[in-house]
């Protein structure tokens, strides 16, 4: 199974966050892959859960609670495609 790892190094502008994650989820589903992310912000956990992510583990790092989240593709039994033309699928 293919797995995408979501790494955010910049703060996403709040009003663009929904648009950005929607596009990311569309790509993950098109590839029938899993998506993984980590967050230490409670509001982000609730936000990502709306898009099908589930907390699969937790840990404390320097007294900060971190959640590790996974989302399984919502598209099953269909050929993998990408909406992004530069994506090469193997």
Domain that holds residue 37: 1-6+16-90
Q: What is the pLDDT of residue 21?
A: 84
Question: Which DSSP string do the residues of the chain spell out, in sequence order?
Answer: --EEE----SPPPHHHHHHHHHHHHHHHHHTT-EEEEEE--HHHHHHHHTTT-EEEEEEEETTEEEEEEEEE-S--SS----SSTTPPP-
Domain presence at residue 66: yes
Please count the structural domains in the chain. 1
pLDDT tens-digit profile of 17-42?
777 888 888 888 888 888 888 899 89
Q: What is the pLDDT of residue 86?
A: 47
pTM, full prediction? 0.69
Q: What is the pLDDT of residue 89?
A: 45
Domain presence at residue 79: yes
């Amino acid at each position: 199974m293919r797995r995408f790892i979501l790494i955010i190094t910049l703060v996403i502008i709040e009003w663009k966050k929904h648009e950005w994650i929607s596009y990311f989820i569309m790509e993950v589903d098109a590839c029938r892959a899993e998506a993984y992310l980590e967050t230490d912000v409670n509001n982000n956990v609730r936000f990502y859960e709306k898009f099908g992510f589930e907390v699969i583990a937790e840990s404390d790092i320097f007294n900060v609670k971190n959640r590790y989240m996974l989302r399984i593709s919502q598209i099953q039994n269909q050929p993998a495609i990408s909406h992004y033309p530069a994506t090469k699928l193997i």
